[in-house]
Amino acid sequence: MFTGTFHFKTEIDKPLEQVWNFFQSNENLVAITGFPKISLLGDKEVFEGADIQLKMNFIFMKLHWQGEITEVADHSYFIDEGKKLPFPFKSWKHVHAFKEKDAETTIMYDRVEFESYLPAPFINLMLTGMFKDRKRQLNGVLGKVR
């Protein structure tokens, strides 16, 4: 078993209130995930105890992901944790943190702690690709993103 922690930072040229509100919809998270294509089967809103069920389409196979929002601190962060995870994950804890840089800029920090059947460098590479794509998708939805 391998363990790791992945970090990713995104600057969004929108006020904290607007960014926070955007990320309070699980449907928006689905909308900014380009690969794999995912469908939301669980709760649409982010709240403590929300059931997150995703169907992930990798073209050659479909996988199911089940998680839960375990903690929410209003306008600060929320945490999702995996409950039933597809290979290669054994555990998953994702902190989505938001901080106001100034009145018109929000910094979003993602931290993922995981246990995996694959070595951490492989998982980090996969997550880097996924989060860079989300950043690109966010740019089209929320405007200037760095």
Q: What is the pLDDT of residue 143?
A: 75
| Residue 133 counted as domain residue | yes
Phi then psi dihedrals of residue 30, to 5 deg: -65, -40
Q: What is the pLDDT of residue 103?
A: 95
Helices (runs of H) and strands (runs of E) counted in the chain: 3, 7
Task: Please classify residue 121 by burial: count the beta carbons closer than 10 Å to its beta carbon, then call 0-12 exposed, 13-18 middle and 19+ buried.
Answer: exposed
Q: What is the pLDDT of residue 142?
A: 83
Residue 118 CB coordination number (10 Å): 14
| Residue 146 counted as domain residue | no
Phi then psi dihedrals of residue 8, to 5 deg: -150, 135
Phi then psi dihedrals of residue 43, to 5 deg: -60, 140
| Residue 83 counted as domain residue | yes
| Residue 144 counted as domain residue | no
Domain that holds residue 23: 2-139
| Residue 134 counted as domain residue | yes
- pTM of full prediction above 0.95: no
| Residue 145 counted as domain residue | no
Contact indicator for 37, 57 with CB cutoff of 8 Å? yes
Q: What is the pLDDT of residue 83?
A: 97
Q: How many domains does the structure of the chain reveal?
A: 1
Q: What is the pLDDT of residue 140?
A: 82
Q: What gap in Å lies between CA 78 and CA 85, rounded to an integer? A: 19
Below-50 pLDDT ranges, the chain: none
Q: What is the pLDDT of residue 139?
A: 86
CATH number assigned to the domain comprising residue 44: 3.30.530.20
Q: What is the pLDDT of residue 134?
A: 92
Contact indicator for 45, 31 with CB cutoff of 8 Å? no
Q: What is the pLDDT of residue 146?
A: 81
